[in-house]
Amino acid sequence: MNAPRQRAADSAADDYGRKLSGASVLVIDDEPGMRNFLTKVLEPRVKRVEQAASPREATQKLDGAHFDLLILDNLMPGMKGLDWMDEQRRKGFFGDTILITAYADLETAISALRAGVSDFVLKPFRANQILGAIERTLDRKHLRRENALLRRELYANNLRGEMIGKSEALSAVHSMLKKLAPLPTPVLFLGESGTGKELAAGHLHEMSDRAEAPFVAVNCAAIDPDRIVAELFGVVDDSGRLKQGLFQLADGGTLFLDEVAQMPVQLQAALLRVLEDKKVRPLGAEREIPLDLRFLFATNADLHKAVEEGRFRMDLYHRINVVTIEIPPLRDRSEDIVELAARFMEQFANTLGMPALDLDEQTLLKMRRYDWPGNVRELRNLIERSVILGDFPEEFAGSGAVKGPEAKENLDMVVQRHILHVLDLCGGNRAEAARRLGVSRKTIDRKLAAWEL
């Protein structure tokens, strides 16, 4: 009679186990029976579960290790659970907490909400009730991170997931990426500006076993030096709440640090510690938070020269320069230009709702003969600008280029429309818009001021 019920319970528990399997949990309760019951329920399903019989023992546990979740009894000898939790928030514990109590009243509920409790479970409870509370809590945590990542993705406009071209030079890059994908090794991407280093890093991430986890790209040159530490490491605000940094947003996945040579010297030592210890301490926090990250780096600068000139730490240079991949400039893979131009033409015609231009033989020949100092980014910008204007620049125009009233539009108006379009794609982020357009931030500011925008 009880066997079907037990099988159903086991099946539900297995479902919970799949969702809870990565969590580390600390159970804090002065009653041994409750601690042992919760440990028995959680042990087969979570990554790690530990017990503490008092707030003092729990503090010692938190000082020695990180926990994603606390299951906390409110009424314990010597100190209320909520008072202890408030104390731990000030010391830098930012995991989630589920409060368990036999006494539910409005005052306790309000205090729990103010203290940042994630869920509330009344004693006595069954295994599926506490498992459900844990599942809800971890789901909300996942959604918070996903929302932060999606907001960040609004500023991104890379074509991650596909590297266009079949040249020998690009095939060698593909081969190296495939070899490195299953390894945890840091990779340093080298190459001129605009060659597609971020695209290659994203491709490496998508071939790895971290593909389902976040890929977070950071341009070290684009972040205000006064904000870069808070942006990367996170910061505790005046109310004791943690604003997660990019290290934590990328946890479980891949963090790509572009223009790493531009990182302020004072931050380089902190980055080295993160690479070696796999832990991060947010600004204003006392405790470190463990990370599970793969680090990828890129630069168009001569890092060895930067080390010699004292602009880049030698120990950090050796730590990130384990394996390097040189991304070839577009002039060294001119056979890829036709496919790239055709893909960009299709993309911008669809995105902008404008007619595609004819990539005739004469235009493509001129493109292949051009040196492309700005590499793939320059080609991409050329195609976008040409679609907007309705014509190729004279140096690329062929017999089949489109002519018409669009081509005669006032140049300043075209430039204004193009810059405003890119700014809109970047969510108003002027530094990112300047990077995509291949101009300085001051140029963007000057143009907007001239247009009184």
Place of tokens 């357009």: 437
Which amino acid type is present at position 340?
L
The domain containing residue 81 runs over which residues? 2-150
First to last CA, the chain: 75
Cβ 240 vs Cβ 88: under 8 Å: no
**10 Å Cβ neighbour count for 167?**
17
Q: Which two tokens stand for residue 172?
A: 């060698």
Same domain, 6 and 121: yes
40/80 same-domain check: yes
Q: What is the CATH number of the domain that holds 120?
A: 3.40.50.2300
Residues 316 and 342 placed together within one structural domain of the fold: no
pTM: 0.67
Residue 430 belongs to some domain of the structure: yes
Which is it for the CA torsion 431, 436, 310, 293, positive or negative? Answer: positive
DSSP string computed for 418-443: HHHHHHHHTTT-HHHHHHHHTS-HHH
Residues 273 and 422: their CA atoms lie apart, in Å, by 37
Q: Is residue 163 in some structural domain? A: no
Residues in the chain: 453
Domain membership flag for residue 158: no
Nearest to 233 by CA among 94, 140, 426, 96: 94
Helix (H) or strand (E) holding 315: helix 314-320
Indicate which CATH number applies to the domain containing 387.
1.10.8.60
> 335 and 324 in one domain?
no
Domain boundary among 150, 184, 212: 150
359 close to 341: Cβ distance less than 8 angstroms: yes
**pLDDT at position 414:** 53
State how far the Cα of 7 lies from the Cα of 434, in Å rounded to an integer. Answer: 60
- Dihedral of CA atoms 294, 300, 306, 308 in degrees, nearest 10, equals 100
**Residue whose C-alpha is closest to residue 71's, from 20, 144, 5, 10:** 20
Domain presence at residue 114: yes
Asked if residue 181 and residue 133 are part of one domain, the reply reads: no
**Residue 408 has what DSSP assignment?**
G
Q: Which residues pair with 236 in a beta bridge?
A: 242
Same domain, 267 and 306: yes
* Alpha-carbon torsion, ordered 192, 195, 197, 202, to 10 deg: 170
Query: Does some domain include residue 107?
Result: yes
How many beta carbons lie within 10 A of that of residue 187, not counting itself? 25
Q: Quick check: is 159 in a domain?
A: no
pLDDT of residue 257: 96
In tens digits, the chain (453 residues) has pLDDT values of 344 434 334 444 456 556 788 788 999 999 999 999 999 999 998 889 999 999 889 988 888 888 888 999 988 888 888 888 888 877 767 778 898 887 766 677 777 776 678 888 888 888 888 998 888 888 887 777 666 566 555 444 444 446 888 889 999 999 999 999 999 999 999 999 999 999 999 999 989 989 888 899 999 988 887 888 888 998 887 766 778 889 988 888 999 999 999 998 889 999 999 999 999 988 887 778 888 899 999 999 999 999 999 999 999 999 999 999 999 999 999 889 988 999 999 889 888 888 899 888 888 888 988 999 999 999 999 999 999 988 898 888 755 444 444 433 444 565 677 678 778 878 888 888 877 776 678 878 888 888 877
Task: Clarify whether residues 359 and 442 are in a common domain.
Answer: yes
- Give the CA distances from residue 325 to residues 197, 316, 403, in Å, rounded to whole numbers and listed in that order: 9, 18, 43
Please indicate, yes or no, whether residues 200 and 146 belong to a single structural domain of this protein.
no
Is 239 exposed, middle or buried (CB count within 10 Å of its CB: 0-12, 13-18, 19+)? exposed
370 shares a domain with 290: no
Task: Write out the two tokens for 156.
Answer: 């991104």
How many separate domains does the chain show? 3
Any idea what the CATH number is for the domain that residue 231 is in? 3.40.50.300
3-state helix, strand, coil in the chain (%, to 5): 50, 15, 35
The CA-based dihedral angle spanning residues 334, 197, 172, 376, taken in that order and rounded to the nearest 10 degrees: -10
Q: Examine residue 87 and state whether it is found in any structural domain, yes or no.
A: yes
Examine the domain organization and report whether 146 and 103 are in the same domain. yes
Instruction: Give the per-residue pLDDT at 239.
Output: 66
Cβ atoms 154, 427 nearer than 8 A: yes
Question: What is the spatial distance between Cα 325 and Cα 185, in angstroms, rounded to a whole number?
Answer: 13
Last-in-domain residue among 280, 305, 328: 328
At 226 the pLDDT is 81
Per DSSP, the three-state class of 66 is coil
**Is 239 a domain residue?**
yes
Same domain for 371 and 271: no
Q: What was the pLDDT predicted at 9?
A: 40
Which of 293, 328, 363 is at the close of a domain?
A: 328
- For residues 132 and 187, membership in a common domain is answered with no
